[in-house]
Amino acid sequence: MLRDLKKVPATRVAAEQVLQQFRAKATVDSARFVLENTGKPQVQFEAASALKEAVIRQWSLMTPEQLDEVQRYTIAFVLHHAAGLATYVREQLLLVVAVIVKGAWMATYAARMGAMINDLVAKYQQAQHGDVPTKYAIAALFLAVVKEFSSTKASALGFTWEYHFQCRRGFETEALAQVFMFALNVLNDLLALPPTQLQQQGSLFNACIGLAELILQWEFTGSGDAIEKKTFIFIT
């Protein structure tokens, strides 16, 4: 409906104003309500965008437990609807997860990232052989998180450059090798498949290639010796 309205000049401006007001005023709960009660990709995207903006806007008012609940909810929603979500909707929702993980890194995820990765890997392994959408969604989630931590630029959350630098250093120490091994293991399994089956899982293959490439290009924050040690861990 929103996409159709935008095609009509007389209603496009009004439709965009409605969307802007929704994103500006939506709470976490209202964004979730819209997300859960529509099957239209464009509306899902707007709800996902509103959810991200609501999290950022309400950040200082939310406890670590509340932020973690939103993170868990968003992952569960993406995995439950993996087969039906449009790519741009899934990416926007995964960005919500990535922003929360980085924003709450010091308070919550620095100590729990290993367990979170293990849980996602277990979900990947539990997915049925032909359930490519769920497997792809998990790989895409890892990709979104790594992208979020790969930059030390200040985000809309308003954290200092130093905070982002500390998060990046912590992530490369606590999680990067673990995510890299996930990507390598998936790629090894995929490359063992017959060509026809590998072609059917092209999206998953490409996501893991992108994930591995991003990690291999990672600019480590430590000394040269630290870089050599981390590289050795990757290779072995």
Angle between helix axes 176-191 and 161-174 (nearest 10 degrees) is: 50
Give 72-97 as a DSSP string: HHHHHHHHHTTTTS-HHHHHHHHHHH
Q: CA–CA distance from 169 to each of 105, 174, 221 (Å)?
A: 11, 9, 6
What mean pLDDT is predicted for residues 47-70?
94
Measured CA to CA, the distance from residue 145 to residue 140 in angstroms comes to: 9
CB 127 within 8 A of CB 120: no
- Summary mean pLDDT of the chain: 87
The domains of the chain are located at: 107-235
CB 179 within 8 A of CB 117: yes
pLDDT for position 22:
78
| Residue-wise pLDDT tens digits, 105-156 | 998 898 999 999 999 999 999 998 889 999 999 999 999 999 999 875 556 6
Alpha helices in the chain (DSSP H): 2-6, 9-25, 28-36, 41-57, 64-80, 87-103, 113-126, 132-149, 161-174, 176-191, 195-200, 202-216, 224-235
| Residue-wise pLDDT tens digits, 77-107 | 999 999 999 999 999 999 999 999 999 999 8
Judge whether residue 231 has pLDDT over 60.
Answer: no
Judge whether residue 33 has pLDDT over 90.
Answer: yes
Query: For residue 5, which of 37, 33, 62, 46 has the smallest C-alpha distance?
Result: 46
pLDDT for position 221:
81
What mean pLDDT is predicted for residues 209-223?
88
Measured CA to CA, the distance from residue 123 to residue 9 in angstroms comes to: 46
Judge whether residue 63 has pLDDT over 90.
Answer: yes
Measured CA to CA, the distance from residue 1 to residue 8 in angstroms comes to: 11
Judge whether residue 13 has pLDDT over 90.
Answer: no
Query: For residue 181, which of 228, 111, 233 has the smallest C-alpha distance?
Result: 233
Judge whether residue 20 has pLDDT over 80.
Answer: no
Measured CA to CA, the distance from residue 44 to residue 198 in angstroms comes to: 30
